[in-house]
Amino acid sequence: MISNLAYIHPEAQIGENVEIGPFVFIDKNVVIGDDNVIMPNVNILSGSRIGNGNQFFPGAVIGAIPQDLKFQGEETTAEIGNNNRIRENVTINRGTASKGRTIVGDNNLLMEGMHVAHDCVVGSNCIIGNQTKLAGEVIVDDTAIISAACLVHQFTHIGSLVMIQGGTRFGKDIPPYIIAAREPAAYCGLNLVGMRRRNFSNELIEHIHKAYRLIYQRGLNVKDALEAIPNEVPMSPEIEYIINFIKSSERGIVK
């Protein structure tokens, strides 16, 4: 299962049933779990922590040092969960002193050429398209879909079950359950397909729609809209998530 043409540092920890192709480089201070497939020309560098059942396609680079001039060689990690598909030429940098680790959860599809910068946190069950770039300390909540060639500003927060149009550039937070598109990036309605695939009831979808009508279509400022939602929309974990997401937004949300 391990090619004679691969290099594995003697201190690296490799689990069971791991397939390692030719010209793979695995550095010291690396931990790799069980049932991973590491295809040719993958580099897994110091500080990488990898779970079980992942696939790494040719040219992927995991755990390279951050592209941040403040980085001073501190011990940090790039942590990848289980059952992810990391496609060709994906790069995932390890963390800096800011947070200490970059995290990718479980069951994600990271498509060709996309980049996860230092200290990002990508949840689980996300799809991130070809050549999309996440700058440092971006947070992507579970089940988000970011299409191809998107440019995501540092410190941005992307909510659960969003759909972001290909080629979108944004430096504001994307609240949960919406579609974001256009230039500049803007609210373009609800991600109805995504919510129905996740078995949201029609009643819940209507409550979410009503909350966003207050935020985007009533002419209220965001603070007043958030205060109005509990009075006009039945509360649920999803509505509370919307409110808390927007209240905690440091960069502000897309218009």
Decide: 94 and 118 in contact? Cβ < 8 Å. Answer: yes
Catalytic residues: 118-119, 136
Decide: 160 and 198 in contact? Cβ < 8 Å. Answer: no
Each residue's pLDDT expressed in tens, for the chain with a length of 255 residues: 999 999 999 999 999 999 999 999 999 999 999 999 999 999 999 999 999 999 999 999 999 999 999 999 999 999 999 999 999 999 999 999 999 999 999 999 999 999 999 999 999 999 999 999 999 999 999 999 999 999 999 999 999 999 999 999 999 999 999 999 998 999 999 999 999 999 999 999 999 999 999 999 988 999 999 999 999 999 999 999 999 999 999 999 999
Q: How many domains does the chain fold into?
A: 2
pTM, entire model: 0.97
Strand bridging mode 186-190 / 178-181: antiparallel
Domain CATH for 202: 1.20.1180.10
Tell me, yes or no, whether 133 and 14 share the same domain.
Answer: yes
Torsions phi, psi for 238 (to 5 deg): -70, -40
Report pLDDT for 228. Answer: 97
Q: Which has the closest alpha carbon to 137: 76, 53, 54, 51?
A: 76
Report pLDDT for 175. Answer: 98
Q: Is 212 exposed, middle or buried (0-12, 13-18, 19+ CB in 10 A)?
A: buried
Residue 86: inside a domain: yes
Tell me, yes or no, whether 202 and 109 share the same domain.
Answer: no
Report pLDDT for 51. Answer: 98
Tell me, yes or no, whether 98 and 223 share the same domain.
Answer: no
User: Around Cβ 145, how many Cβ atoms within 10 Å?
Assistant: 20
